Amino acid sequence: MSFNEINAVENFVIKTMTGVNLNESSMAHEAPAPYGAQWEYLPATELPREVTEVMVETEVKKALVRLNPEIADQPERADEVIFKLRSILLSVHSTGLVRANEEFAEWLKGNKTMPFGKNYAHVPVRLIDFEHIANNKFQLVNQFSIRNRETKRPDIVLFVNGFPLVVGETKTPVRPSVSWLDAASDIHDGYENSVPELFVPNVFSFATEGRELFYGAVRTPLEFWSAWRLNEGSEDSEMPGLGNVSTEMRQLLSPKTLLDILYNFTTYTTNKSRQRIKVVCRYQQYEGANKIVERVLENKIKRGLIWHFQGSGKSLLMLFAAQKMRRMPELKSPTVMIVVDRIDLDSQTQNVFKEAPNVMPTEDIDTLNKFLENDARYIIITTIFKFKDAKPNINRRDNIIVMVDEAHRTQEGDLGQRMRAALPNAFFFGLTGTPINKSEHNTFWTFGALEDQGGYVSRYSFEDALRDNTILPLHFEPRLLDTSTAMPWTRSLNASPTNWTRMPKSPSAARPPRCWSF
């Protein structure tokens, strides 16, 4: 059997996630890895839908009845919700894909209400159960036909309760000229333009040719698609090709990770061109934010250092961690404080957090003191300098989480001590790209815990950032200096100190080129 796109990569994805081996004539089923144990394979021809329909409405209706007691009492109410969802799908041609995707995400996350309660009171409508993952239906479909302006057939579509949340495209692994970029281009330039309705419920899409796996949100330019790397110490971290992609895929596409990204690790913002964009976490942000959340939930160690190199997106990491902790009922409505040490960082952080709910910037010292004295339960953005007049023990609550950006700067002096004295039972997490390890100034001692190997909770190194193109290498090019133009200013020996003369340059004495390039 010759290798091609379908039997080498597409069927490999199906087998990895569902255990079904389509390369066997009997469609043999093997036990999938734990990450993919909840995905069920279903041929596209067996889906009860028309070729123009995006949702599998029979599954959507079952989920509405299963997850909403008010709809279970009157199942016809499910049709009202489905009508609302259909209208969002159709609005993509007028509002644009990102805005339609944002509105649909609010429904998926359970943030929308309908008058189904007593006396027509509005109650939240749940489309997905985020607390009990097994209460949802996960289906993987291949060769999914969808028609709008023309008929398209994505290789892989992952459905949750009848909603297509992930679209995947595969390419052949045996042609060196073909890469994941070709698959991603089919999604970004082809499917999203031809059948945009399919991507209105989308969380993210992925592309692979068996050597690498990359993913991106709707309308994300290809240069900003991200790799989902393996955790340090993984047994498969050094395996090339399909072995590496297999483990990455099980992590990224596991039901738990997928729903976590949908609910906690996605945000929408406006770029400098005033365009609405969707931002999905990168793997280092997902790992770092969840390490913070886990430590707060355990409530044993009250500090931690996040050592992520510059340009890795630490502001977004703090946003995702803050959003997740604010939504967790077990933390009892915590106060999350984002502390920076410069006014320009304060403005930058506020810009990142402007779309998040319950965000309160502090304009001055009195505002910060008032928030702390009144036990405000918000995401508070402030600078370290506003703790100048903070009183000791101003708030002794133990569900206050402080995340300090640029933690290597001003956290060990008087201001840092005042902040810790004002919040004696708070959690303190430092985020930095350049920790300092000196006797008089030590970031590891200030934020690191003895229980953490290496002194940090999570690390994203310079080599990691360079590998992922988060940063670019700086190349220096040595050039010989033209001595004829090295000293264009001269003066005669008998001239006064102010009697300088500009010597004319020769026509060939051009300015030397810059000696650096990216």
CATH number of the domain bearing residue 348: 3.40.50.300
- Co-location of 53 and 186 in the same domain: yes
Query: Shortest CA distance to 283 belongs to which of 460, 72, 44?
Result: 460
- Co-location of 20 and 51 in the same domain: yes
- Co-location of 333 and 258 in the same domain: no
The CA dihedral of 430, 431, 435, 440, to the nearest 10 degrees, is -30
What is the residue type of 31?
A: A
Whether the pLDDT of residue 222 is over 90: the answer is yes
Helix residue spans in 29-91 (DSSP H) = 57-67, 69-73, 77-90
Domain finish residue from 212, 244, 268: 268
pLDDT, position 472: 81
Q: Which two tokens stand for residue 230?
A: 């393996």
pLDDT, position 517: 35
Whether the pLDDT of residue 96 is over 80: the answer is yes
Per-residue pLDDT averaged across 277-290, rounded? 96
Q: Please report whether residue 91 resides in a domain.
A: yes
Query: Who contacts 165 (Cβ-Cβ below 8 Å, separation ≥6)?
Result: 108, 158, 159, 201, 202, 203, 258, 262
Q: Please report whether residue 492 resides in a domain.
A: no
Give the helix/strand (H/E) hosting 322. helix 314-326
Rounded CA gap, 501 and 152, in Å?
Answer: 74
- Co-location of 181 and 244 in the same domain: yes
- For residues 140 and 294, the answer to whether their CB atoms sit within 8 Å is no
pLDDT, position 343: 67
Instruction: Give 396-451 pLDDT, tens digit per residue.
Output: 999 999 999 877 565 556 788 899 999 999 999 999 988 888 766 778 888 889 89
Which neighbouring-strand residues pair with 279? 267
Rounded CA gap, 370 and 383, in Å?
Answer: 15
- Co-location of 53 and 129 in the same domain: yes
pLDDT, position 508: 44
Rounded CA gap, 179 and 191, in Å?
Answer: 18
- Co-location of 303 and 235 in the same domain: no
Rounded CA gap, 266 and 264, in Å?
Answer: 6
Q: Please report whether residue 515 resides in a domain.
A: no
pLDDT, position 226: 95
Residues of the chain with pLDDT > 90: what percent? 65
Q: What secondary structure does DSSP assign to 74-91, as a single string?
A: STTHHHHHHHHHHHHHHT
Instruction: Give 489-518 pLDDT, tens digit per residue.
Output: 444 444 444 444 444 444 444 444 433 333
Give the helix/strand (H/E) hosting 147. strand 146-147
Per mean pLDDT, which range of 20-24, 109-113, 389-393, 459-463 is the poorest? 20-24
Rounded CA gap, 475 and 15, in Å?
Answer: 44
Domain finish residue from 451, 467, 483: 467
Instruction: Give 329-363 pLDDT, tens digit per residue.
Output: 999 999 999 998 776 566 778 888 888 888 998 98
- Co-location of 223 and 348 in the same domain: no
Q: Please report whether residue 505 resides in a domain.
A: no
- Co-location of 347 and 204 in the same domain: no
Q: CA dist 283 to 261, 386, 473, 503, Å? A: 10, 33, 21, 59
Instruction: Give 284-338 pLDDT, tens digit per residue.
Output: 999 999 999 999 999 999 999 999 998 899 999 999 999 999 999 999 999 999 9
Rounded CA gap, 386 and 371, in Å?
Answer: 12
- pTM for the complete prediction? 0.87
pLDDT, position 379: 95
Q: Please report whether residue 382 resides in a domain.
A: yes
- For residues 98 and 278, the answer to whether their CB atoms sit within 8 Å is yes
Mean pLDDT of the chain: 87
Domain finish residue from 268, 303, 334: 268
- Co-location of 259 and 288 in the same domain: no
Whether the pLDDT of residue 31 is over 80: the answer is no
Q: Please report whether residue 46 resides in a domain.
A: yes
**Residue 338 per-residue DSSP state:** E
Confidence category of residue 167, pLDDT binned at 50, 70, 90: very high
Query: Shortest CA distance to 290 belongs to which of 304, 279, 300, 278?
Result: 304
Q: Please report whether residue 447 resides in a domain.
A: yes
Highest-scoring range by mean pLDDT, 64-73, 240-249, 460-469, 504-513: 64-73
Rounded CA gap, 483 and 470, in Å?
Answer: 40
What separation, in Å, do the N-terminal and C-terminal C-alpha atoms of the chain show?
A: 46
- Co-location of 86 and 25 in the same domain: yes
pLDDT, position 232: 53
Angle between helices 255-264 and 314-326 (to 10 degrees): 100
Domain interval for residue 307:
283-467
Query: Who contacts 319 (Cβ-Cβ below 8 Å, separation ≥6)?
Result: 267, 352, 353, 356
- Co-location of 213 and 308 in the same domain: no
Rounded CA gap, 32 and 20, in Å?
Answer: 8
pLDDT, position 157: 98
Per-residue pLDDT averaged across 153-181, rounded? 94
pLDDT, position 27: 56
pLDDT, position 305: 94
pLDDT, position 512: 42
- Co-location of 192 and 224 in the same domain: yes
- For residues 457 and 232, the answer to whether their CB atoms sit within 8 Å is no
Q: Please report whether residue 482 resides in a domain.
A: no
pLDDT, position 435: 87
Instruction: Give 388-400 pLDDT, tens digit per residue.
Output: 888 999 999 999 9
Rounded CA gap, 61 and 46, in Å?
Answer: 18
Rounded CA gap, 56 and 75, in Å?
Answer: 17
- For residues 334 and 376, the answer to whether their CB atoms sit within 8 Å is no
Residues of the chain with pLDDT > 70: what percent? 85
Q: Which is more confidently placed, 422 or 242?
A: 422
pLDDT, position 348: 75
CB atoms within 10 A of CB 483: 7
pLDDT, position 341: 78
- For residues 338 and 346, the answer to whether their CB atoms sit within 8 Å is no
**Count of domains for the chain:** 2
Rounded CA gap, 291 and 293, in Å?
Answer: 5
